[in-house]
Amino acid sequence: MFKKREYNEKKKNSSEKYIAAVERKFKGVVGEPAWASLDNKVEKDDLDSDDEFFQETTDIVEKTRISSRLPKGRIDIKKCTAMNVVSNDEGKEIHCVDFHPTSTVGLVSGSKRRVTIMQIDGKHNPKIQSVRFDDTPIQTCKFSADGNEIIVGSIKRKRFHVFDMIAGKIVKVPMEKSTFGVEDSAVFDLSSDGKLMAIIGHTGSIQIYTATSKEFIGNLQMNDNCRALAFSKSGRKLYTHGEGGEFYVWDMNSRTCESKLVDDGCISGTSLAVNSNYLACGSHEGVVNIYSLNKLSGMKTGYPKPDKTLLNISEPINHLNFNPTGEILGITGVYRKRLVHFPSMTVFENWPESHDTNVICYGMKFSPGSGFMAHGINFGEGRLHRIQHYKDY
C-alpha cells in the first residue's frame, strides 16, 4: 500500500514537473512582449471627429498612431519569408493562418491535417511545434482569446478539437447532437472577450458553446442556411449571413434575434466581418456592402442602404477581415484579393501585384499590431507580408 501511494505521488510530481517545464518553455517563447501593453490611451476630449473613428475602432490606440494615420491610395507593403518556411509540411492547400493574440507567434494548417506553430519575425520564422490531427480534415483553426489554446474545426466531423498549448494535449469535444442542425464544426468564430464560441450548423442552425469549458449552452436558428458569422468587438452581439441574402443581428445576453435585415442586392450571402463602426457583407455575386452600425441600430427589419458598395472582385467573396485598427478590410475570393482603406472605403491600388493574381487564396489575417498580414495559398505556403506603416507587430 505504501509503495503504491509512493508510486502515485512520484507519478503526480513527475506529471506536474513535466507540465511546468512545458509551460516555462512555451511562455519563454511566447511571453507577453512590450508592444502588448495597452495602457497608453488618448483622452477622447483631445480627439477630433476623424480621431474618434480610430478611438472607437482600434484596440491599440496611441498618440503616434493617431497622428500618423494610414494613407489611402497606395499601401507600403512588402512580401516576407513564408510563415511555414521551416516546416513546409502542412499540405498543398493552406486553409488557415492565425496570429497569437499577445505574442509574436503564428500558426499554419492545411490539407495534411497538421497545425504548425512558429515564432514570427518575418525573416526566419523558426518552428516551435507541429501537432497532427490524424482523423480530422482541418477547415478552421484559431488561437483562443487568451492564447493558451488552439481550436480546430473540421468538415464531416460532429466534433471539434482543442489543443492545450500549456499541457500539450488534444481534447475532442463532441457537438450537441440533441439539437437539430448538427453537421460539422467547419466554420466557427470566437468572441474576443473569451466567453463564447459559435459554430455554423445545418439548415440555419448556429450552436453556441462556452469558450472556456466548451459546454453547449444554446442554439440560434435562421430561416435560411447560415454561411458566415462573426462576433462584435465586445462579444455582446453575433452577426450571421444567410443563403437567402439576409443578415441577422443576435443579442448574446438573451440569445434572441434583434434584427433581420436584407443585404442590398444580395442573392446569397457568403461572408461578413465587423468592427466597432462597420459591418461588411460579402455575397456569392462578388459584391461587398459596407454598413454603418450606427445606421443599423434600432432597425428590426427592412432594407438598409449601404454606405459603400465594392465591386472589385467578380467572383464569390470567401472571406472578409478587418485589421485591429479598423483602417484595412481584407477581401478574398478564390483567385482575387483586395485591401480596402478606411474610413475612405477606397481600394489600395498597388496590391496585389499583377503577377500575384492567379494564386488561390484561403482567407486573410492581421497580426495584433497590424504589422503583419498573412493568407494561405494553394502552394503549401502561409504567405506573409509586412505592412510598413505599422511599427508594432
Mean pLDDT by 10-residue block, N- to C-terminus, for the chain (393 residues)? Answer: 46 49 52 38 38 42 57 97 95 95 96 95 96 92 97 93 95 84 91 96 94 95 96 96 97 97 97 97 97 96 97 94 97 94 97 80 94 95 97 90
User: What gap in Å lies between CA 353 and CA 340, rounded to an integer?
Assistant: 15
| Residue indicated by cell numbers 457583407 | 281
DSSP state for residue 55 in the 8-state scheme: H
326: left (phi over 0), alpha (psi -120 to 50) or beta: left
pLDDT at 68: 81
- Whether a cis peptide bond, with omega within 30° of 0, leads into 352 is yes
Candidates 72, 64, 66, 74; CA nearest to 49 is 66
User: What gap in Å lies between CA 291 and CA 147, rounded to an integer?
Assistant: 31
Give the count of beta carbons closer than 10 Å to the beta carbon of residue 166: 15
Contacts of 289 (CB under 8 A, 6+ apart): 263, 264, 265, 266, 280, 281, 283, 306, 308, 309, 310
| Residue indicated by cell numbers 502552394 | 379
C-alpha cell belonging to residue 318 = 470567401
Contacts of 207 (CB under 8 A, 6+ apart): 175, 176, 179, 181, 182, 198, 199, 201, 216, 218, 219
Alpha helices in the chain (DSSP H): 2-30, 49-57, 63-67, 293-296
pLDDT at 59: 41
The pTM for the full model equals 0.84
CB burial readout 358-384, b (16+ within 10 A) else e: ebebbbbbbbbbbbbbbbbbbebbbbb
pLDDT (tens digit, 9 = 90+) per residue, 269-295?
A: 999 999 999 999 999 999 999 999 999
pLDDT (tens digit, 9 = 90+) per residue, 169-188?
A: 999 999 987 666 778 999 99
Are the C-beta atoms of residues 359 and 369 closer than 8 Å to each other? no
User: What gap in Å lies between CA 23 and CA 29, rounded to an integer?
Assistant: 10
User: What gap in Å lies between CA 77 and CA 386, rounded to an integer?
Assistant: 6
pLDDT at 358: 73
If you write DSSP's letter for every residue of 81-113 in order, what string do you get? Answer: --TTTTT--S-SSEEEEEE-SSSSEEEEEETTS
Distances (CA, A) of 54 to 112, 248, 312: 40, 26, 25
Candidates 307, 254, 312, 310; CA nearest to 279 is 307
